[in-house]
Structure 1
Amino acid sequence: MEKMGNDNLKPFDIDHLSTNQSGILADLQEYISDGLKTPGHHVAVIEGAAGTGKSVLLTKLFKNIRQGMKDPDSPYQGLKTVFTVNHPELLKVYQEMGARYRDLYKKDYVRPTSLINSAHKTDSHYDVVLIDEGHLLLSKREPYIRFFQDNQLTEIIKLAKVVVVVFDFQQVIQGKMFWNEKLLNQVLTPYDHRIFPMNFQYRMEANASVSTWIDNFVTGKLSPLPADQGDYDLRIFERADALFATIKARNQEGGLARVLATTGFQRRADGAHHVVLDGFDLPWDEFDAQVKTWPNRPESINQVGSIYTVQGFDLNYAGVLLSPAFEYDAKTDRMVVNPTKVTHKEIYKKNPNLTDADAIAQAKTDFMYNALNILAKRGKKGLYLKAADPDLNNRLLELQAQAK
């Protein structure tokens, strides 16, 4: 039987931070305290790759602020605060935290568009706003979802005395949410701001050789798999059904083992949105309105997760299926992206911040590499890979045989 043994909140609500995290938390709290006493708007940017503990740090910071709001000796006494994230699955976790814990409330956690529109309607302002997954903020107008300004970060900064926002440019996955360092700097330049880097890995229990191989792989660079993997399990599979069988076995052992896939798999002939690959055929679960998050549902073992269901969450083992959009280029011995085979065209929506033809072409590749980066770094204990493109998968199998 699968050992769930963990609820939605466990990966986020960690009271005992590492020495590095505690140091950054102290620096952030000092920056916030100083900003509250200084004229103008102030922005703290937490930058870090997937698995560096950004959400854990932000959760602890928000709890500290909320608890201090009732303390007459705290710099947070009487503050008006709010927490926002543009990710429905993560919002479920945070709202559950608000419903369960003292000093927190479900209403403290909202989507950015709701926050902005509500504040404009009521002429509200905040002392401190925390933003998780800032790379998912809209950077263009989206009237369809009732966002009419140029970008959400600027609008939130205007509403707050101090903003704390998390950013990872390697998790930018859509045109309407396009961010790079240049654009972020343009937004931040008018305001006092400070970058807080997080360069340590907490999710993946992998040695340096494995971490480097995965870092290279998600940008297209191919090399022999490391022979010394320590306790981490990195494997290439010849068939998707064999990968799934291994994931199910791992799930029986300790839970939180799931199959994930990138966009690029065609729908079945009957119109069902399934991932179908050499004997493997399961639904691709893009979004579900259930309260329990996708990785924590027992039935999701028989579904295929996506960036929309696992971004920000931990798994023990991730089995990642690379769609036909990822191909092998024998001339360069690299994995490349074929944008014409990307099926989720929404990710290539035009953005006024992205107009140069070469930059657009690069972004189309980067969005897919970034999506793969998100999926490939979900597993704490292991990563299993299978590519739909035969040439790419054969090359990966060769590199596995050449492990050194």
Structure 2
Amino acid sequence: MTDFDIEHITFDIDDVQTHATLNDKLTNWPVVYLIDGANAETNQTSQVRRRQRAHGIHRPRIYVGETGNALARMRQHHENEVKRDLEQVRVIIDETFNKSACLDLESQLIGWCQGDGTFQVLNRNAGLVDADYFDRETYRKRFHEIFERLRAEGVFTHSIPEIENSELFKLSPFKSLTTDQSVAIEQILETLSADRAAQRGSTIVVQGDPGTGKTIVAIYLIKLLRDIGNTSDDDLFEMNSLFSDFFAGEHREALQHMDIGIVVPQQSLRTSMRRVFKSIPNMREVKVLTPFDVGSGDDYYDLLLVDEAHRLGQRANQSSGTQNKKFIDINTKLFGEDDLHYTQLDWIRARSTNQILLIDADQTVRPSDLPTPTLRSVLDAACRGDRLLRLTSQLRVKGGSDYIEYVGRLLSDEPPAPKSFGDAYDLRFFDDLGEMHEEIRKRDAEVGLSRLVAGFAWPWNSKNDKSVPDIVEDGVALQWNWAQTDWIASPHAIDQVGSIHTVQGYELNYAGVIIGRDLQLDRSTGRLMFSRDDYYDKKGKENNAQLGITYSDEELLKFVRNIYRVLMTRGMLGTYVYVCDAELKERLKSLVPSRQER
């Protein structure tokens, strides 16, 4: 491929016109450009910029675009009040560029800018699909060269691996969508538009396995709806992408002026999402809520999205007496009585006109989660109303859907035939916990975000005394996660073990999964068993006195299987497995490649 060039132009239309007379590719060639509000902060050291961002100091703004006529597009931008005060244009010119390559580079740069955090990204996310095109891998190598050139000029502070491991990137709304994600979002927009025009409520369900991008759909959709709501006729020249039709006419009228919130049951993910939303100008007003926030608050929403909706709670003994009283007070406030069968899903429905529920019923991990009959009823109702959307493309795990299915079979009473995923996915069995920990350390040094995780099969002794170990196996002493929020990025995480409540909803590059003695194998029957004595999540095995439910070992086994299914699908690049129960160890050892076999 030929060398690329980056033209630097002051964001003044006369200056752009002058450059265009010297380079005809500014008027008749596919290019990618960046317009930024560069100032003194841009030229400061990386350390100073990180400190400024940590303290919430205003960041300069940037817009990334692609066009076949840079001169005409700059004229349009110059007439836009939001961009008129930006100072500098960088135009990336490559003689091999075509429309597909430019769209891809535009998408990559927008995502990297958001994940890096140096600039506030002004772009909309009106619908880029992760489409293949001729020689894409060669172009993407060139994109990395372009990134490094821009990084040297101060556009980026971090490296690509650092950016792509950050929560700003992983929870960014600036994603290239898979085909089924784009179809789901288009159908959601059409349904919402029709329902709001008819002044009727609806419940839309998005169902998908781990790693199919349910959270991405939720975040992307929120940004898209906010963009639609804030678009004026002057902005429509930019609308030439997948969801352009929703930015005009009856669709825009129906989708404007929406009060939107997102409910996230897990504390850690909720905290991360709030931080990301604060970094995006058009999303700062969107509330990231607990179910209790929704029920006890006075706000009514046009739309509530619920991430991990299967983790909403039913009536059960809460974590504190205060929470128990809140459950009673909310039921009474919303429904006039404290009926024991009201769930947090009922609160969501009572406080919003429209709901979008993102569900994987196989990720329920506690008896207090929504019961299976309730989830089945929600799915059936959505199916009957043509409001059930399924995601199937595997985004997280490089082993793809085959790996997800294989994990399900590994944790069943009918194990699969032995299988290796070769170079596609690094699945390994370890006999020695110390060796697995060392390999996780190596992967973390190489690519970052590599952690040990485990089922709740050991007491949390270190919660009150940081000097004592929690997990002791093979002469290795480990502790549970110290941090309750953002543990994965915390300073000592590599030497700690994350629980299901810390990592559900997050991505790792490599996960070292410790399967404790809460999950065992009965050699005589060949069936998996739950060991109540080896399970230390009090809320995970607590009977439901309020509803008069006593949970059998077989019922609790379902939750423990789900826990290990979730843990074994966190790693994007690989999963390492260590098993404590001797009988189960022998079974999985015969089904999962060992370290020596790879």
Same fold (TM over 0.5): yes
Paired position in structure 2 for 1:377: 569
Verify the 8 A CA contact 1:210 1:229 in the aligned structure 2: no
Pick one of 132, 142, 147 that aligns with 2:307.
132
**Cα distance, 1:365–1:155 mapped onto 2, change above 3 Å:** same
Match of 1:154 among 325, 346, 362: 346
Contact preservation (8 Å) 2:451, 2:510: yes
Alignment of 1:102-141 (within 5 A): 102-105=281-284, 108-119=287-298, 124-140=299-315
1:355 deviates by 5.9
CA distance in 1 between counterparts of 2:390 and 2:261 reads 23
Distance 1:163 1:106, change over 3 A: same
Q: 2:505 aligns with which of 312, 317, 331?
A: 312
Of 200-209 and 44-53, deviating more is: 200-209
Q: Distance in 2 between matches of 1:28 and 1:88?
A: 27
Paired with 1:354 and 1:360, the residues of 2 have a C-alpha distance of 15
Point out where structure 2 has 5 or more consecutive residues left out of the alignment.
1-158, 233-247, 332-341
CA separation in 2, counterparts of 1:287 and 1:151? 29
Where does structure 1 lack aligned partners over 5 or more consecutive residues?
none
From 344, 351, 356, give the equivalent of 2:537: 344
Q: Which of 367, 373, 389 lines up with 1:196 in the alignment?
A: 389
SS in 1 for 2:419: coil
1:144 aligned to 306, 311, 322, which one? Answer: 322
* Aligned positions, number: 394
Residue in 2 that maps onto 1:260? 453
Q: Conserved in 2, the CA contact under 8 Å of 1:206 and 1:229?
A: no
Change (3 A) 1:352 1:244: same
Q: Distance in 2 between matches of 1:159 and 1:388?
A: 46
Other-structure match for 2:279: 100
Q: Is the aligned partner of 1:7 residue 2:166?
A: yes
Q: Is the 8 A contact 2:418 2:590 kept in 1?
A: no
State whether residues 178 and 351 of structure 1, in contact with CA within 8 Å, keep that contact through their aligned partners in structure 2: no
Match of 2:363 among 171, 195, 205: 171
* Partner residue of 1:332 out of 514, 525, 545: 525
Aligned ranges for residues 196-235 of structure 1 at < 5 Å? Answer: 196-206=389-399, 209-235=402-428
- Contact 2:522–2:529 (8 Å) recurs in 1: yes
Distance 1:157 1:267, change over 3 A: closer
Whole-Å separation in 1 of the counterparts to 2:461 and 2:275: 36
Q: Which residue of 1 aligns with 2:205?
A: 45
CA distance, structure 2, for counterparts of residue 273 and residue 29 of structure 1 = 51
Name which of structure 1's ranges 24-33 and 206-215 shifts more when overlaid on structure 2.
206-215
**Shift in CA distance, 221/261, structure 1 to aligned 2, threshold 3 Å:** farther
Tell me if structure 1 keeps the 8 A contact 2:471–2:477.
yes
Equivalent AA in structure 1 for residue 314 of structure 2: S
Task: Output the CA distance in 1 between the equivalents of 2:537 and 2:375.
Answer: 25
2: distance between equivalents of 1:228 and 1:349?
38
Instruction: Tell me, in whole angstroms, the C-alpha distance in 2 between the residues paired with 1:172 and 1:352.
Output: 20
Instruction: Check the 8 A contact 1:35/1:161 in 2, yes or no.
Output: no
* Contact 1:4–1:256 (Cα < 8 Å) also in 2: no
Q: Distance in 2 between matches of 1:287 and 1:366?
A: 27
The 10-residue stretch of structure 1 (323-332 or 191-200) with the greater mean CA deviation from structure 2: 191-200
Relative to structure 1, is the Cα distance of residues 354 and 4 closer, same or farther in structure 2, using a 3 angstrom cutoff?
farther
Asked whether the 8 Å contact 1:68–1:76 carries over to 2, the reply is yes
Name the CA distance, whole Å, in 1 between partners of 2:374 and 2:574: 35
| Structure 1 residue 181 displacement after superposition | 4.4
SS in 2 for 1:242: helix
Measured in 2, the distance between the counterparts of 1:113 and 1:297 equals 27
What is the CA–CA distance in structure 1 between the aligned matches of 2:302 and 2:518, rounded to whole Å? Answer: 45
Q: TM-score, with normalisation over the residues of structure 1?
A: 0.88
Tell me: higher relative CO, structure 1 or 2? Use CA pairs within 8 A at least 6 residues apart.
Answer: 1
Which SS does the other structure have where 2:514 is aligned?
strand
Structure-2 separation of matches of 1:88 and 1:228: 34
Paired with 1:253 and 1:8, the residues of 2 have a C-alpha distance of 19
What is the deviation of 1:330?
A: 1.2
Partner of residue 24 from structure 1, selected from 178, 181, 184: 184
Query: Does 1:276 find its partner at 2:467?
Result: no
1:171–1:374: 8 Å Cα contact kept in structure 2?
Answer: yes
Identity across matched positions, percent: 23
SS of the residue corresponding to residue 452 of structure 2 reads strand
Helix, strand or coil: the match of 1:185?
Answer: helix
Instruction: Tell me by how many angstroms 1:83 deviates.
Output: 1.2
CA RMSD, 1 decimal: 2.9
User: Does the CA contact (< 8 Å) of 2:413 and 2:526 recur in 1?
Assistant: no
Secondary structure class of the residue paired with 2:168: coil
Change (3 A) 1:201 1:32: same
Matches of 2:402 and 2:305, distance apart in 1: 35
Give the counterpart letter for 1:363 in structure 2: E
Q: C-alpha separation between the residues in 1 aligned to 2:469 and 2:501?
A: 15
Q: Structure 1: which amino acid aligns with 2:193?
A: S
3-state DSSP of counterpart to 1:154: helix
Find the aligned partners of 2:413 and 2:285 in 1 and give their Cα distance. Answer: 41
Distance in 2 separating the partners of 1:51 and 1:181: 24
- 1:23-56 Cα offsets, whole Å, 9 max, x none, are 1110111111122123443100111111110000
CA distance in 2, matches of 1:335, 1:274: 25
- Does residue 364 in structure 1 map to residue 523 in structure 2? no
Superimposed CA distance per residue, residues 350-403 of structure 1 (whole angstroms, 9 cap, x where no aligned partner): 34897676x744331111011111100001111111111122213322344799
Q: Which residue of 1 aligns with 2:219?
A: 59
C-alpha distance in 2 between matches for 1:332 and 1:223: 17
Distance apart, 1:167 and its partner CA: 0.9
Distance 1:229 1:52, change over 3 A: same
1:294/1:300 contact within 8 Å kept:
yes
Match 1:78 to one of 240, 257, 278: 257
Paired residue type of 2:179? T
Evaluate the alpha carbon distance shift between residue 183 and residue 166 of structure 1 in structure 2; reply closer, same or farther with a 3 A threshold: closer
Q: How far off its partner does 1:258 sit?
A: 0.6
* CA–CA separation in structure 1 for the residues paired with 2:422 and 2:212: 20
What are the Cα deviations for residues 55-105 of structure 1, in whole angstroms up to 9, with x where unaligned? 001110010111222236523211111111111111122111221101111
Taking a change above 3 Å as real, the CA distance of residues 395 and 187 of structure 1, as seen in their structure-2 partners, is: closer
* Of 347-356 and 256-265, the range deviating more from structure 2: 347-356
